[in-house]
Amino acid sequence: MTLGSLAAGGTLGILIPPSISMIIYGALAEASIGKLFAGGIIPGIVLSGMFMAYIGLRVRRNPRLAPKEAAISVRGLILGLKGLWPILILMTIVLGGIFGGVMTPTEAAAAGSSAALAIALGLRRFTWQMLKESLLSSLETTCMLMFIVVGASILSSYLAVMGVPKLFAMFVFGSGLPAVGILLLIYLLYIFLGCFIDGLSAMILTLPTVLPILTTLGFDLIWFGVV
């Protein structure tokens, strides 16, 4: 139950904003990142509710899956929620700025970083060691993403020179499948690729080929990015 909950909950990270995958998709598809973020909220909430309902039903049928723990008092719950206000402020600044059209994702990231620094100073929790660790963590994450982007871009360019995107488009349109059938075929392609390579790599590798097909078929790119 624990491993299944963690594995299923991990899928929400790419759906509920802020999502790195949505940012990269928006850049590749030239789609509004704010609309992608907004489109991921409701599906993310629905999936979260479904996961909680499933876990609740499983535990009710088999209580051994989730041993009982000490109940949390209302006072303890309120005290626990009080510690979330810095996170709520940061989410309001970043997501509110993007949804409101006031800031671009890059500007929202800068505003969020500045707000986090101000909160740390205000709470007197700021230390130079904390700043150093934050910068190193950001550097590691950025380098990791850039290596994935560069590697997938090189492979995508190589496949384009070989004419693979053109052959795939000819196969898709020559198959005689309806638009929904072609969409399901693309989903099967992503499921297959997901068994062997990282999701970001698969997205960077295939979007230059897939997006023109979806546009020709009349599918909305914001909807496809969320789905």
Query: Same domain for 144 and 225?
Result: yes
Query: What digits encode the pLDDT tens for the residues 104-130?
Result: 888 888 888 888 888 888 888 888 888
**In this structure, what are the phi and psi dihedrals at residue 178, rounded to the nearest 5 degrees?**
-70, 175
DSSP class of residue 219 equals -
Question: Is the pLDDT reported for residue 3 higher than 80?
Answer: no
Query: Same domain for 113 and 151?
Result: no
Query: Same domain for 172 and 216?
Result: yes
Query: Same domain for 55 and 102?
Result: no
Over range 162-181, report the average pLDDT: 81
Number of structural domains (the chain) is: 3
Q: Which domain holds residue 118?
A: 75-126
Query: What digits encode the pLDDT tens for the residues 70-98?
Result: 777 777 777 777 777 888 888 888 888 88
CA–CA gap between residue 134 and residue 148 (Å, rounded): 21
Write down the pTM of the prediction. 0.75
